[in-house]
Amino acid sequence: MRRALLSVSDKSGLVELGRGLAARGFELVSTGGTARALQEARLPVIGISDVTGFPEMMDGRVKTLHPRVHGGILARRGRPDDLAAAAEHGIAMIDLVVVNLYPFVKAAANPDTPFDALIEEIDIGGPSLVRAAAKNFQDVLVVVSPADYPAVLEQLDRAGGPTREFRFELARTAFAHTGSYDTAIASTLATVAAGPDGFHRQAGTGLPPLLSMALHKVRDLRYGENPHQRAALYEGFGMAPGFMPLQGKELSYTNLLDLDAAVRMVIEFTEPAAVVIKHTNPCGAATAAAAAEAYVRARDADPLAAFGGIVGLNRPIDAATAAAITSTFIEAVAAPSVEPAALEILAKKANMRVVVPARVVANGEAQAQEDLELRSIVGGVLVQARDVVREAHAPWPGADGLKVVTQRQPTPEEWQALRFAWRLCAHVKSNTVIFTAADRTLAIGAGQMSRVDAVKVARMKAESAGPDALKGSVAASDAFFPFRDGLDAVAAAGATAVVQPGGSVRDQEVIAAADEHGLAMVFTSRRHFRH
């Protein structure tokens, strides 16, 4: 009789698999909670202690680490000497190993998990079983994901048994599973410091000395930024998918980059907000009392550029918002959810991609854990903590770090507009100067080589709205003005207030220029470059 060893933390589909294996003539060998779950389903189970002759001990730390287990997995069926050794020592063959590992990743994701509890979530026997079975994949099936259970039963029903290709694919998946698991452990423990009173996980104190990564391919993409570049989407062990598609064509490389930029921007706001993205920069962004109105304001900030753009919302899409979005050509939309009535409207644009981000939290809280960003360079990888506009999370002027440096104080309306502008400015490619009202962008000068050029681009973008489009606006600069010419250009454009980090050796010259023009200017003492 063939024998299957089952020992799983994730018990999804376990009983159905156990019944399927029993119906196909397998003996079921199991451990702990897995054995109990199978027994409660009235399935016959051989306890692991009956195989090894030893009880499970040390709170379950030792149960499967035994020659009668690993010998039954590792014995090569085509080697008479292996089989003779197994027979001499009373080792029965194990033909199928179903194991998934202790939930270390889940425990590590909770910063309140005590260190000792975290250590107990490091699986020892499980990875050993998986690696042994994967090494001997030509004779033993190894299964680490409940998603593979139906395919395993189908393959067992094949004449001649599972194919070599299927066995090998399961083995590759298994090695990737244990590799990712070990990577997660190494990366987490790199954030732990030993002190006189024990071990403590450190958060936000710096980048880890060891950054281990294991990524698995989710899918190939049609191409990268250009048709001649190969591209694929990868995700890390334990990560939720970045975007769940609801409709539309397959997401492209550039779609994913733009959707990421859109989500980053709208989660800066607690009020309903919308943004339209092109090439990771906003064409327009706005807030309003409702999502539909916010979207229309954002689109109309630069309607020509918004054509074919990517839309991000921080509120569910209702019917009114869906009608507004489908009134023009939009490539893709990301929102926390979509109401049923809105889905019917969006479906009329069958090619438009509609997705739900895996993690959308307002007011930057999704970034509060200082998620790491990685970028490859020639011969290495750059790593940084994700930028968070913390100084704009609280209403202005009450937030910490703000300093009015001009003779004139901002008016209440200007304070509101300056905060709006600062939250968006951080997400625009540097160098940037943007002009806004209190609830919408008016003109965006993105990615220029000087701040004067950024102002010129913004003014050019505003020309279609009339010569006075920027009169009474506020401006935000992601870094300081190195000379007064940038500030002069902002004043000439029509802005009445400016927010910038400050910190230039010529700050006093720039402040004097603002006073000459009657502008109010606020220093935040925090730069937000985005390269």
For the domain made up of 2-192, give the CATH fold. Answer: Rossmann fold (3.40.50)
pLDDT at 205: 55
pLDDT at 241: 62
Low-confidence ranges of the chain (pLDDT < 70): 1, 203-206, 208-210, 236-241, 359-370
- Pair of tokens at residue 372: 């790491």
Q: Cα dist. 160→95, 148, 163 in Å?
A: 15, 19, 8
The count of C-alpha atoms lying within 13 angstroms of the C-alpha of 149, restricted to the half-sphere facing its C-beta, is 21
Count each helix (H run) and each strand (E run) in the chain, helices first. Answer: 19, 23
390-523 sits in which CATH class? Answer: alpha beta
Contacts for 456 with CB less than 8 Å, ≥ 6 apart: 445, 448, 489
- Pair of tokens at residue 72: 């039954």
The alpha carbon torsion through 359, 361, 366, 368 (nearest 10 deg) reads -160
Where in the sequence numbering do the catalytic residues fall? 135, 279
- Pair of tokens at residue 435: 């002009």
C-alpha span between 75 and 82 (Å, rounded): 5
pLDDT tens for 464-507 read 888 899 999 999 999 999 999 999 999 999 999 999 999 999 99
- Which of 155-181 are b and which e, b meaning 16 or more Cβ less than 10 Å from the residue's Cβ? bbeeeeebeeebbeebbebbbbbbbbb
CATH number for the domain running over 242-364: 3.40.140.20
Q: Where are the domains of the chain?
A: 2-192, 242-364, 390-523
Q: CB of 342 within 8 A of CB of 363?
A: no
- Pair of tokens at residue 414: 């200007």
- Pair of tokens at residue 245: 């598609």
Say whether 390-523 and 2-192 share the same fold: no
In this structure, are strands 141-143 and 26-30 parallel, antiparallel, or unpaired?
Answer: unpaired
pLDDT at 367: 42
pLDDT at 239: 57
The alpha carbon torsion through 315, 320, 324, 330 (nearest 10 deg) reads 50
C-alpha span between 128 and 511 (Å, rounded): 66
Map residue 126 onto helix, strand or coil: helix
Map residue 98 onto helix, strand or coil: strand
State the angle between helix axes of 67-74 and 80-88 in degrees (0 to 180), rounded to the nearest 10. 160
Q: CB of 193 within 8 A of CB of 166?
A: no
Q: CB of 18 within 8 A of CB of 41?
A: yes
Contacts for 531 with CB less than 8 Å, ≥ 6 apart: 429, 430
Q: CB of 44 within 8 A of CB of 23?
A: no
Among candidate residues 259, 257, 293, 256, the one with its CA nearest the CA of residue 276: 259
C-alpha span between 479 and 486 (Å, rounded): 11
Counting Cβ atoms within 10 Å, is residue 300 exposed (0-12), middle (13-18) or buried (19+)? middle
Model pTM above 0.85 = no
Using CA of residue 256, residue 257, residue 259, residue 263, what is the dihedral sign? positive
